[in-house]
């Protein structure tokens, strides 16, 4: 089937029957999805306003998604920390309501590889909680166990702006940030990394400064993930990973999950405009594959957190990405690795290290 090759420029090609069949046959995991906040109780409704709700995931052949409790960076002080912690726990509680059967869709909150696999085998959507911004633990690593108890599987060390754990790629002078506050990870950040290893929480280096990222790779007993980041050589954004960072990921066994944020995928053209689609997205996958190998790259949307492409606008359209990967010549095992296999390998590794350190999965 080559209907896709007959599309006019600017049109979204219709995915081939081969691509549609492959997409349906794959385990497909999106490693970074935001939730509306305050909660609207509409995760089981096919909404106008959410790019990802559970009906759209089902319709689009998505198997699993990491839904994040995202905490915006604010002042690094006791009051800010208390607010961030309370909001994070409340958001994780909401993510934990995304299970059961409603409107013909069944979902399960899953926090281990075994649970995710069982949900997939049962034909049930897997909802995997996560936390975006270590600010949510304030200055108390003991809070990480509360996140894990609510099912969280990764914590993004920073958002935009430095926190008590680490420096971010983008600093916020309005919050009192210097270009660097810690020179990478703080002592507290190193303690948090050790605690995350013990609990089976992956360390997410998206948003982290280069020094923070490289230090986290060295400090963590488990390979780190960049849950939603792109390649700096292709698009010079401070949030993206440069070649030295990609090489460090390879060395340690980590994974970069390319994300559907146009500003991270393509520079603006000469008219100051920018449009990116799955083709630009797969350019970043190609680059990572060529530099460090197919086992180190995966897929995230950042839907409902700013991500969206011309031809991947919501969770119903992931098949367009599968079609583009097929067009580039990737085989089924590579596409399966991108769509979740590589990320699941890291989750399993984190569970193994946690079990060694605590005698349980945590
Ligand atoms: Zn983010």
Distance 247 CA to ligand 1 centre (A): 22
Cα separation, 84 vs 100, whole angstroms: 28
287-346 pLDDT, tens digit each: 999 999 999 999 999 999 999 999 999 999 999 999 999 999 999 999 999 999 999 999
Can you state the percent helix, strand and coil of the chain, rounding each to 5? 45, 15, 40
Cα separation, 357 vs 18, whole angstroms: 45
User: In sequence order, what are the beta bridge partners of 69?
Assistant: 131
Distance 207 CA to ligand 1 centre (A): 7
Distance 134 CA to ligand 1 centre (A): 12
96-109 pLDDT, tens digit each: 999 999 999 999 99
Distance 205 CA to ligand 1 centre (A): 10
Distance 301 CA to ligand 1 centre (A): 10
Distance 260 CA to ligand 1 centre (A): 11
Distance 160 CA to ligand 1 centre (A): 8
Q: Please, which pLDDT band fits residue 4 given cuts at 50, 70 and 90? A: very low
Percent of the chain predicted with pLDDT > 70: 96
Distance 228 CA to ligand 1 centre (A): 7
157-166 pLDDT, tens digit each: 999 999 999 9
* pLDDT at position 55 over 70: yes
* pLDDT at position 219 over 70: yes
Integer angstrom CA distances of residue 94 from 104, 114, 316, 326, 342: 20, 22, 23, 36, 27
Q: Within a 13 Å sphere around the CA of 55, how many CA atoms are in the beta-carbon half?
A: 12
Cα separation, 322 vs 330, whole angstroms: 10
Cβ-Cβ contacts under 8 Å for 352 (sequence gap 6 or more):
none
* pLDDT at position 282 over 80: yes
Q: Please, which pLDDT band fits residue 13 given cuts at 50, 70 and 90? A: confident
Q: Please, which pLDDT band fits residue 137 given cuts at 50, 70 and 90? A: very high
* pLDDT at position 123 over 60: yes
* pLDDT at position 362 over 70: no
State if pTM tops 0.75: yes
Cα separation, 23 vs 310, whole angstroms: 19
Higher pLDDT, 340 or 359: 340
Candidates 320, 259, 323, 321; CA nearest to 288 is 259
3-state secondary structure of 300: strand
Distance 132 CA to ligand 1 centre (A): 7
Q: Within a 13 Å sphere around the CA of 137, how many CA atoms are in the beta-carbon half?
A: 31
| Mean pLDDT value across residues 176-205 | 98
Mean residue pLDDT across the chain: 96
Taking CB atoms within 8 Å and a gap of at least 24, the contacts of 14-18 are: 15/319, 15/320, 15/322, 15/323, 16/323, 16/326, 18/326
Q: Within a 13 Å sphere around the CA of 231, how many CA atoms are in the beta-carbon half?
A: 23
Distance 24 CA to ligand 1 centre (A): 28
3-state secondary structure of 18: helix
């Amino acid at each position: 089937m080559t209907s896709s090759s007959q599309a006019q420029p600017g049109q979204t090609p219709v995915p081939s029957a081969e691509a549609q069949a492959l997409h349906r046959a794959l385990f497909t995991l999106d490693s970074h999805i935001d939730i509306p906040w305050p909660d609207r109780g509409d995760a089981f409704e096919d909404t106008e306003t959410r790019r990802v709700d559970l009906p759209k995931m089902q319709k689009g052949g998505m198997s699993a998604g990491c839904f994040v409790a995202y905490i915006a960076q604010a002042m690094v002080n006791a009051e800010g920390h208390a607010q961030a912690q309370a909001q994070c726990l409340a958001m994780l509680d909401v993510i934990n309501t995304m299970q059961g059967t409603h409107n013909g869709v069944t979902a399960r909150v899953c926090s281990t590889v075994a649970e995710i696999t069982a949900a997939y085998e049962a034909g049930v959507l897997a909802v995997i909680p996560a936390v975006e911004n270590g600010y949510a633990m304030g200055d108390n690593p003991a809070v990480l166990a509360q996140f894990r108890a609510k099912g969280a599987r990764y914590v993004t060390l920073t958002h935009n702006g430095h926190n008590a754990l680490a420096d971010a790629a983008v600093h916020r002078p309005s919050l009192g940030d210097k270009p660097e506050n810690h020179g990478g990870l703080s002592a507290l950040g190193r303690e948090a990394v050790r605690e995350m290893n013990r609990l089976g929480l992956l360390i997410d280096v998206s948003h982290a400064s280069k020094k923070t990222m490289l230090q986290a790779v060295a400090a963590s007993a488990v390979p780190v993930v960049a849950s939603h980041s792109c390649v700096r050589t292709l698009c010079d954004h401070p949030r993206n990973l440069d070649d030295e960072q990609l090489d460090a990921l390879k060395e340690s066994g980590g994974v970069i999950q390319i994300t559907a944020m146009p500003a991270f995928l393509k520079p603006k053209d000469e008219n100051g405009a920018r449009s990116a689609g799955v083709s630009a997205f797969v350019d970043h996958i190609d680059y990572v594959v060529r530099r460090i190998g197919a086992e180190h790259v995966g897929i995230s949307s950042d839907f409902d957190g700013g991500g969206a492409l011309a031809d991947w606008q919501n969770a119903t359209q992931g098949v367009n990405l599968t079609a583009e990967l097929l067009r580039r010549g990737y085989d089924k095992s590579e596409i399966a690795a991108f769509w979740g296999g590589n990320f699941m390998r890291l989750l399993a590794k984190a569970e193994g290290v946690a079990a060694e350190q605590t005698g349980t999965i945590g």
